Structure 1
Amino acid sequence: MNNHHAQCGGHPADAEAFGRSGTLPRAITPDCLWTGRCLASSVPDMHAHYSLYLLKGSAKTVLVDTGHPIHWEAVKRDVDAFLDGRPLDYIFPTHSELPHSGLLERWMREFPEAVAVGDMRDYALYHPTLEHRFRQVSPGDTLDLGDRHFLFLPPVWRDLPDTLWAFDTKDRILFLSDACAYFHAHVPGQCDHLSSEIAPPDIAMMQDFNDKALHWPKFTDSTPSFPEMDELVARLRPRLLAGAHGCVVDTPAQTLPLFKQGIAMGPVAA
C-alpha cells in the first residue's frame, strides 16, 4: 500500500484506487462509488465516516448526499474521476443537516444542469437563486436512470423530518442516511472496509452515535419500528446497506439485529 493510502484523509491518484485500498474512495459495485472521508468521533481513537455515494445508471447519474464541506476538494476529485466525463444529473441530499447537504450549492454550481431532488421543503430559504432547480419528491417516487430505477423510501430510523431513504433497483443498494451507523478504529487501512471485512459493530458505540445524531432513541421505545424495518428489508432484499456514518454493510442479515440493539436504547431514567 502506498503511504498516502494509509490514512483516513489520503487520496488516491488513479482509477485503480477505486478498489479496496484502505481509504476512500472505493467502488462498492462497478456503478456505485463510495467516497467521503473520516473525522474523529466522540469515542477516543475511533473515527466516523462522512460518506456520499455516486450512482451511475446507463442514462443518468445521481449523487446521494453532498459530503462534509471540509472534504470538498477530495470528494470533488473522486466524483469527477468516477464520472469520467459524464454529467452529474441529480443530487439527492438525504436531509438538510450539514454533512448531508452542506455542499449542495457547490455541486450545483459545478454541474449547472443538475437537479436537486428530495424533500426540498426548506432549501429555497438557504439557496433562493437555485429554487428553480429543486424537485420535491415523496416516498414511492422514482428516478429513471436507464438500466435501473432510484426509488425514494420513507425513512424508518430518521434524523430530521425531511429525511428520505432511497434504493437502487439494479445493484440492490439501500441508502439509509444516518441509520445503521457505527465507528471504526482509526488505524491504517480501516477506512474503506465492508462489514464482512471488519469486526461487528459495538453496541455501546452505536448507542453513543444514535444518542447524538438521531436523539429520539433515548427518549422513546424504538422497538415498535422493528417490524417496519423488517418488512422493508424483506420486500427490497438489499445486498448492501449504504449509510453516511459507517462502513458499507454487505452482511445485512447478520448485522441488522445488531443495529436494532444499537437503536433500542429506551427512555433514559430521570
Structure 2
Amino acid sequence: MSPDNQGIEPTTARVLADGVHWLGGCLSANAEGQEVHYHVSSYLVLGSEASILVDTGDPAHRDKVLAQLEHALGGRTLDYVFPTHPEIPHAGNLPALLATYPSAVVVGDVRDYALHFPEYKDRLQAKTAGESLDLGDREFRFFPAYIRDLENTLWGYDSGARIMFVSDGFSYIHDVPGPEEDDEPVHLPGQCRLLSTEMPAPPSVEQAAYGTGRALYWTKFVDVGTAFQAIEDTLESYPALMIGPAHGNVIDDVDSMLKTSLAAHRKVYEGQML
C-alpha cells in the first residue's frame, strides 16, 4: 500500500482501506521561492453491489482522475457521484465523469445542479443529511457539513471502512507561504498522498489556522465550538478511523486532529491569525 510520494503525480489511486481508494492530484504554488503543493482529492468507495465517488477533483486533473478511477474500479461501473458542493474542485469534473459512465447518478444536495448541468438534469438524485445509500456490504450515509464552504455542502461516511469525508473541513498546510501567496492548503513536494501520521511532523495549530482563516473566511467571525461538539457527537455514533478532506492529507490520528483543528478555528476567531 506504499504511495507514490516521490514528487511524481500518481497515476493510480492509493488504497486507504478495503474498498476505499484515494484519487486526485496536487496543484502547485510558489511560497517565497519554494514550490509547494495542495491536494485536490476524490475518494472512491466500492461496495459489493454499488460504487460511489466522493468529489470529482479539479478539471486540471481530469485525465488523471479518469485513469485512476478506471484502474480502481477494475472493470466495474461507477454508480454514484457525490460532489460535496458545486465548486470547481468538487464538481468540476462532473461532465467528464457522467459522459464516461452513462449510468452514473449524481447524489447529494443537488438543488442547483440542473442550472449548472442542464443536460444531466435527469440524472440528479437529491439526498439530505440523515439519508443513506446501500452499497451492498456497506452503507454510505450523508451528514451535515458542520464546517463548510457553501450552504449546500454535505459530508459523507462509509460504514465499511469507517471513514468520514469532510469536503473543505480539516484541511491544513505543512509550510506557511508568504503573505502574497495563494490562500490554499499546501504541502511540500514528496508529501503527496501521505497519511497524517506518515508526515515528518503532525500539523501544528498555526498550520491548520493558516488554511482555515483563508479558505473559509467566515471562520473569522464565527465561534465554531458548537459545530465541533456536533462533530464529536456524530463521531460517537459513527466512529471514524480516518477523515478524508478534499484539501489536505488523509487524517488517521483523528482524536489528535480534532483538538488541533478546534484550536485552529479558535485562533482564527480570536483574531490571532490574519
**TM-score by structure 2 length?**
0.88
RMSD (Å), alpha carbons = 1.8
Rounded Cα–Cα distance in structure 1 between residues aligned with 2:30 and 2:210 = 8
2:11 paired residue number:
11
1:142 paired residue number:
132
Report if the CA contact (8 A) 1:51-1:245 is conserved: yes
Moved more, 229-238 or 96-105: 229-238
1:30 Cα offset (Å): 2.5
Unaligned runs of 5+ residues in structure 1 are: 13-24
Report if the CA contact (8 A) 1:8-1:37 is conserved: no
2:179 paired residue number:
none
Rounded Cα–Cα distance in structure 1 between residues aligned with 2:165 and 2:81 = 13
Task: Say which of 216, 219, 222 aligns to 2:221.
Answer: 219
Task: Say which of 127, 143, 158 aligns to 1:153.
Answer: 143
Task: Say which of 13, 17, 30 aligns to 1:29.
Answer: 17
Rounded Cα–Cα distance in structure 2 between residues aligned with 1:173 and 1:75 = 20
1:43 Cα offset (Å): 5.0
Report if the CA contact (8 A) 2:172-2:212 is conserved: no
Report if the CA contact (8 A) 2:5-2:193 is conserved: no
1:268 Cα offset (Å): 4.0
1:5 Cα offset (Å): 5.8
Report if the CA contact (8 A) 1:43-1:205 is conserved: no
1:97-145 residue CA offsets vs partner (Å, 9 max, x unmatched): 1100001111001000000001001110111110010001100111000
1:106 paired residue number:
96
Rounded Cα–Cα distance in structure 1 between residues aligned with 2:30 and 2:86 = 22
1:228-268 residue CA offsets vs partner (Å, 9 max, x unmatched): 11111111111110110111111111221001112222154
Moved more, 107-116 or 176-185: 176-185
Rounded Cα–Cα distance in structure 1 between residues aligned with 2:208 and 2:93 = 26
1:119-175 residue CA offsets vs partner (Å, 9 max, x unmatched): 001110111110010001100111000000100001111110010001111110101
Alpha-carbon distance change, 267 to 137 in structure 1, aligned in 2, over 3 angstroms: same
1:192 Cα offset (Å): 1.6
Rounded Cα–Cα distance in structure 2 between residues aligned with 1:180 and 1:84 = 30
Report if the CA contact (8 A) 1:119-1:162 is conserved: yes
Alpha-carbon distance change, 222 to 35 in structure 1, aligned in 2, over 3 angstroms: same
Seq. identity, %: 37
Moved more, 80-89 or 228-237: 228-237
Count of residues in Structure 1 that have an aligned counterpart in Structure 2: 254
Alpha-carbon distance change, 223 to 119 in structure 1, aligned in 2, over 3 angstroms: same
Rounded Cα–Cα distance in structure 2 between residues aligned with 1:8 and 1:246 = 17
1:66 paired residue number:
56
Rounded Cα–Cα distance in structure 2 between residues aligned with 1:11 and 1:127 = 28
Moved more, 249-258 or 221-230: 221-230
Task: Say which of 20, 23, 41 aligns to 1:51.
Answer: 41
Runs of 4+ residues over 3 Å off in structure 1: 41-46, 267-270
2:184 paired residue number:
none
Partner SS for 2:110 = coil
State the one-letter code of the partner of 1:63.
Answer: L
Task: Say which of 69, 72, 76 aligns to 1:79.
Answer: 69
Partner SS for 2:141 = strand
Rounded Cα–Cα distance in structure 2 between residues aligned with 1:42 and 1:117 = 36
